[in-house]
Amino acid sequence: MGNTEKLQKIIAAAGVCSRRKAEELISEGRVAVNGITAAIGDKAGDLDEITIDGRPLPKKSENVYFMLNKPKGYVTTAADEKGRKNVTELINEPERVYPVGRLDMYSEGLLIMTNDGELTYKLTHPRHELYKEYLVGMMGDKSKDAVRLMENVREIDGYKIAKPIVRKVSETDYGFVLSVKIREGRNRQIRKMCESCGYKVIFLKRVAVGSLKLGELKAGQYRALTQAEVDMLMKEAGNGEK
């Protein structure tokens, strides 16, 4: 019978979608193995025929990894009903790649783009998310201790959040520039943290994911990750779910 693996891992490895999305497809009854509708927990081997919505699973393509400096004005969703510009439009490569995690439309900075569903799963799984560092320009009362205020934010939208790592980078005419490191990726988390402290966000830029740094890459540009950088991300993300 040979080696078998869980279906969601096989689908993710083929570059179709993330493992989490693959689990949704299986739960919705859209995946079949040898003509039989699959269920969560099912496995398959090299000789099995896997289909999604009746179409054969594509052959596994070579995994590729890019770092994009996302500019403002682009969304990171897979599909946008409003027809807004998508970060996938900025990657001019033969392989179709997807963003790892999200940056909101008005934020900029480091975004990993890949067709490796396994790495995407590991980097975004709640148990293994890495620290992400942001530079945030905040307008507001300069007499307040903005670092302490941000460190003390413990709840967003009714959800408990881990203590962020915050340091002041500089003071500006309008307020501060802070470095903020967080592990969660809740919707507009840093913006909401700033708002809860009485500050308005002027700009928000992601500059690091784990040990991977944005560096001097210009807005709208991208580059391939080195093998050493990919290996580093794999190591830092851990082994994920089996």
Side chain identity at 157, as an amino acid letter? D
Is the Cα dihedral 73, 77, 80, 82 positive or negative? negative
104 carries an active-site annotation: yes
Report the b/e string of 104-127 with b at 16+ CB within 10 A: bbebbbbbbbbbbbbbbbbbbbee
Closest CA to 162 of 140, 193, 188: 193
Which candidate in 104, 141, 145, 173 is catalytic? 104
Total length of the chain: 242
Whole-Å CA distances, 60 to 4, 52, 150:
16, 14, 44
What tokens does 164 get?
């962020």
DSSP 237: H
Tokens of residue 61, six digits: 């393509």
User: What pairing do the DSSP bridges indicate for beta strands 31-33 and 108-114?
Assistant: unpaired
Residues annotated as part of the active site:
104
